[in-house]
Structure 1
Amino acid sequence: MEKIGFLLAFLLVLGNVSFMHASFSLSLIKDLASIVMDNYCTPEKLVGMKEAIETSGSNTDVLSIPDGDSLASVLSNGFQTTLNDPRLKVSFEPNYVPVAPPQMPPLPPEQLIAVLQTSIKLDILEGNIGYMRIDNILGEEVAEKVGPLLLDVVWNKILPTSALIFDLRYTGSGDITGIPYIVSYFTEAEPLIHIDTVYDRPSNTTTKLFSMSTLLGQRYGTTKPLIILTSKNTKGVAEDVAYCLQNLKRATVVGEKTAGGSVKIDKLKVGDTDFYVTVPTAKSINPITGSTWEITGMTPDVEVNAEDALATGIKIINLRAQVPAIIEEAAALIANNYAFESVGVDVAEKLKEHLGNGEFGMVLSKTGLETKLTADLKALSGDASLKTTSNTPALPPVDYSPEMYIALIKVSFHTDVLENNIGYLRFDMFGDFEEVKPIAQVIVEHVWNKVINTDALIIDLRNNLGGPTTAIAGFCSYFFDADKQILLDKLYDRPSGSTIELLTLSELTGTRYGSKKSLVILTSGATSGAAEEFVYIMKKLGRAMIIGETTAGGSHPPKIFPVGDSGIFLSIPTVHSDTTAGPAWEGAGVAPHIPVPADAALDTAKSILNKHFAGQQ
């Protein structure tokens, strides 16, 4: 009711303007309102308008506007603003001649073929991509008349193509009855699909549009790529066709947001005046979305300028042509290299099933393909490390000065000596053994020697995200004695089929912490990769107490594999820890001895160790 009141105010806006005389009949506004009330496609928006119009009908100030075009503009703005619908327009056209619906003239076949070739643009692009441009959507009646010729001149040339680009960038007209015809050529004969619902206000009828079981000629099918091009000039029935096929997941729409027209617009004369009102008399409600493209326009899947839409569509089709080979190659790489063979084979088979089911058929870009492939791999394997990745080349080694190394180490390691001579050591990443080896003495002097003489040590790995596992054996060795070599873990390398034994080292830089002093390791759900391998070993061998949260359940550092020549790369874990005694930590994480929230782990560890030392006193 507030909006209707606004319309009344709008019509009265010129009340303080003086005009010499009334130029138009007092019945004009009431007649106009009557047409809108009886024909506008969304009657629920009109509640209260009748009373408001009757009140405003006595306003001779508005009717005193001497210029018909100006009055039409005022009335248009009032209705459009009130109903929030720019399609509703009032015009003043003394010389208007109603346009008769286009009829197909009784032309001989050769001339009819020439007409069709002019109105429908057809081409076969490189890569066997069909291109079809239609600037008017034919209705049922016309389609039946020219159907056989359409098959010969257009459709039978399109059928053998591998993909189709359907250009609706210039389509501003069409017949509602043509919607099922077009949509049905891109769906199966059975079952019938409810593709649209159209409410017609003048007749107060609702019609459900279904796909058709019988068509003239063959269907294009449901698997070959279909790209629809749109622009801001795509309007009316063309919008409906694009919207239906988009929401059926049968077409990818590329281009600009469409005009936001209507499935049916009527231009009606206002009484015996020269004023006309253009009214949307029917509305479309999509059964899938429960919404409509009218007024707002439909949004493409890929928004680009209209002039770039064709090139973008071709690019998408070319990418989709490569998808089967990419997925097959990715599946083979996973089956042959994933650390756990049975899981790798299962993931590969299911990935190919996804391909066969058409789940990769709607990818829009290489990035989109990588995103979907990663999501599928993680879901199928439960392994966050099995994914697509960038093949970023390793940075060249930095020539650090001794002072720079010391500064870097001080930032990377945090040490402290707590109450009761309890050492604290935190670092958030494991380094590569070969890179660490040259600066091992520096680390010992500036980090290790600060905690080596403590009576117990807390190693904080709550923020440790992993890194290379090459330094694990050496780091573990500091917490065992030199007189006996200990088997820490067995690592199975899937690509080579070999097993590597991780053993404690007999020679180390600096002094060992030894096997007798208490050792506590703090963990969180973020503790991952190499850090988990260290925690796993120390827990398995009974060398440390683990306090905190179950670790992330990551993997040994994955290897990078190119997927053919696609420019896509896979991160595949290829190594797993010894599973002869049961599942290792990959995928499951390492459960702590004492589970507490990560932020409480340090206080818990200090409390336990302090009580331990207090008991010794």
Structure 2
Amino acid sequence: MDINELVEETGRLVAGHYVFPELGERLRLLLAERRAAGYYRGAADPAALAELVTGDLQSLNGDLHLRLKHHVEEIPALPGDTSLMEVMAREARERFGGVARVERLDGNVGYLELRPLLYPLSMAADQLNAALRLVADSDALVIDLRGNRGGDPATVAFVCGHLFDEPTHLHTMNFGDGTASRQSWTPFVPGPVFGGEKPLAVLTSSGTFSGAEELAYDLQQHGRATVVGERTGGGAHPREGFRVHPHLEVTVPTGRPVHPVSGTNWEGTGVVPDLETADGEALAAALTRLAR
């Protein structure tokens, strides 16, 4: 493991891709200064180096998506993001596309648990669609995101497409590299859907993060769902991953979503529940709220 090369490459990637270009350059210089001072020299293994570098990357603005991420399993040696997508695709197959549990509770309340990720639709569309159709005839619905650490914005829009009756603007994504802004809207979903009128609750925990936060935030800001549980982690900026070592990935936020209702997002603040409860009490609290 050549620590100097790894840190230098990490800084280059951050400076070249971060959604806030000026801050990205400041971080590159910070890593270079710390490297020259020998700060990373004592890292005994990739995991230790990842912890040290991540601390520096998050030291200026606390962006939790900006990190040198350690993978226990080796990242396949494929070009660009392809290697990381291969790892995710394998995980999606093993996790039924992120559909952890779907159930009919007493009172014809549907319960859908999505974890650990909202996988890209290329990996999970069939499983998600099947699960959402199973709960479409429920009189009320609980979507449990307490164990969900993020995912693809297109998957967020797909799930929301089952929960609104009309095309709905979810966010506008702004980029730091001059790329034109891009709007996200709910897609048309054929067949039976839960729709936009029946009661809906979303469960969150302090570990709910990234794309899972977007799902909760979009539904909450449009007045479509009651969020129940804990304040979420506060990571709004979507990121790209770059393999720099068999066990290390540089993750760099490349965009900033702006919600049409709030004019901002949940970066740093998290999604604040409408009904705040401890993680383990969220489902019971949500069912009580839905029964009113």
TM-score category, normalised to shorter length: 0.7 to 0.9
Instruction: Tell which has more relative contact order, 1 or 2 (C-alpha 8 A, sep 6+).
Output: 2
- 1:474: how far off? 1.2
Q: Write out aligned runs for 1:48-447 (5 A).
A: 319=2, 323=4, 326-355=6-35, 358-360=37-39, 362-363=41-42, 365=44, 367=46, 368-389=48-69, 391-392=75-76, 393=83, 394-395=86-87, 409=96, 412-428=99-115, 429-437=117-125, 439=126, 443-445=128-130, 447=131
Equivalence for 2:214 = 533
SS at match of 2:138: coil
- Say what the alpha-carbon RMSD is for the aligned residues: 3.3
Q: Deviations over 1:158-180 (max 9, x none)?
A: xxxxxxxxxxxxxxxxxxxxxxx
Q: Say which one has the larger Rg.
A: 1
- 1:349: how far off? 3.9
Give the letter aligned to residue 218 of structure 2.
I
Distance verdict in 2 for CA 1:517–1:343, change over 3 Å: farther
Give the letter aligned to residue 416 of structure 1.
E
- 1:328: how far off? 4.5
Equivalence for 1:469 = 153
Give the letter aligned to residue 432 of structure 1.
P
Q: Deviations over 1:505-535 (max 9, x none)?
A: 12x2431222111111010011112111111
Distance verdict in 2 for CA 1:426–1:329, change over 3 Å: closer
Distance verdict in 2 for CA 1:460–1:332, change over 3 Å: same
Q: TM-score, normalised by structure 2?
A: 0.80
Asked whether the equivalents of residues 547 and 594 of structure 1 are also in contact (C-alpha less than 8 Å), the reply is: yes
SS at match of 1:577: strand
Percent pairwise identity:
28
Q: Write out aligned runs for 1:480-495 (5 A).
A: 480-481=164-165, 484-495=166-177
Asked whether the equivalents of residues 360 and 369 of structure 1 are also in contact (C-alpha less than 8 Å), the reply is: no
Distance verdict in 2 for CA 1:513–1:388, change over 3 Å: same
Gaps of 5+ in 1: 1-314, 399-404, 613-617
- 1:374: how far off? 2.1
Count of equivalent residues: 276
- 1:387: how far off? 1.7
Indicate which of 284, 287, 292 corresponds to 1:603: 284
Equivalence for 2:79 = none
Q: Deviations over 1:297-333 (max 9, x none)?
A: xxxxxxxxxxxxxxxxxx9xxx57xx2x654543332
Asked whether the equivalents of residues 98 and 114 of structure 2 are also in contact (C-alpha less than 8 Å), the reply is: no
* In 2: Cα distance, 1:527 partner to 1:397 partner: 21
Q: TM-score, normalised by structure 1?
A: 0.40
Equivalence for 1:504 = 186
* In 1: Cα distance, 2:8 partner to 2:249 partner: 14
Asked whether the equivalents of residues 97 and 119 of structure 2 are also in contact (C-alpha less than 8 Å), the reply is: no
Gaps of 5+ in 2: 77-82
* In 1: Cα distance, 2:253 partner to 2:52 partner: 19
Distance verdict in 2 for CA 1:516–1:567, change over 3 Å: closer
Q: Deviations over 1:269-301 (max 9, x none)?
A: xxxxxxxxxxxxxxxxxxxxxxxxxxxxxxxxx
Give the letter aligned to residue 42 of structure 2.
V
- 1:475: how far off? 0.9
Give the letter aligned to residue 339 of structure 1.
V
